[in-house]
Homo-oligomer: A and B are copies of this chain.
Amino acid sequence: MNRFFVDPTAIHENSVDIPDETASQIRKVLRLKEGTRVQFLDNHGWLYESVIHYTDPKNITAEIIKKRSAEGEPACAVSLYIGLTQREKFEWILQKCTEAGVSKIIPMITERSLLRKTTDITGKKERWEKILKEASEQCGRGSIPKLSDPLSFHEAVKAGSLADKALFCWEDEKQKTLREILEPLHSTTSNISLMVGPEGGFSTEEAALAQEAGWSTVTLGKRIYRMETAAIASVILTLYELER
């Protein structure tokens, strides 16, 4: 089933105004035929089961059959604070963490980040938001994860500490597990911050600063994950615990 996010203003009682870009995707890329069922999403949690019609070979309309809640939204909003890294790896993190159910991604610059300046990512935001949108459509999310502008480590520590629970994934934490922290929380928690470091990990000073600000250090298990694996594992496991 093909899914497309559209602006809420494009949705009327019985029909959807298909934006040009989406129409061209339906017609030229996917080559969907008259009468094909598709789903439109308003990025506010609603899904519109629809059927497409061709008024002429170049003009498509969409008739709404049924409105319902989108099913793919997580029970808890997970914000992932993640070290900025090389483009390919970062884009992979965006795509996979969207599938895993992340609600917000906040790139940050830490002591050992490979990318050191926020200007390094100028011009990439549009491309990255497209990745988030397409991954959300593909996996059946009801809304597209938000992408924040990059923060410094200090800003990130402060911002993330405001969540119901803030978890600092750290390879030097050998005892405290995600399960231990999350199991008691599951029915009462509406938002969680996760922080995952860059390739070289966090420094001891960074871990101390985060702990002072209220973050709980946590281990993701006894195997040492690469940063991108840690990112997806932390989101998958957090929502696995909280969506019980």
Contact = CB atoms under 8 A, between A and B. Distances in A.
Interface residues of A toward B: which range?
20 to 34
Given A232-B232, A236-B237, A139 B225 contact: yes
Interface in A120-164: 138-141
A224 interface: yes
Given A223-B140, A224-B139, A179 B244 contact: yes
B96 A229 contact: yes
A120 to B, nearest CB: 25
Interface of A: 71-72, 96, 99-101, 138-141, 179, 221-226, 229, 232-233, 236-237, 239-240, 243-244
16 contacts: A72-B223, A72-B224, A99-B223, A99-B224, A99-B225, A99-B229, A100-B229, A101-B221, A138-B226, A139-B225, A179-B240, A222-B243, A229-B232, A233-B236, A236-B237, A237-B237
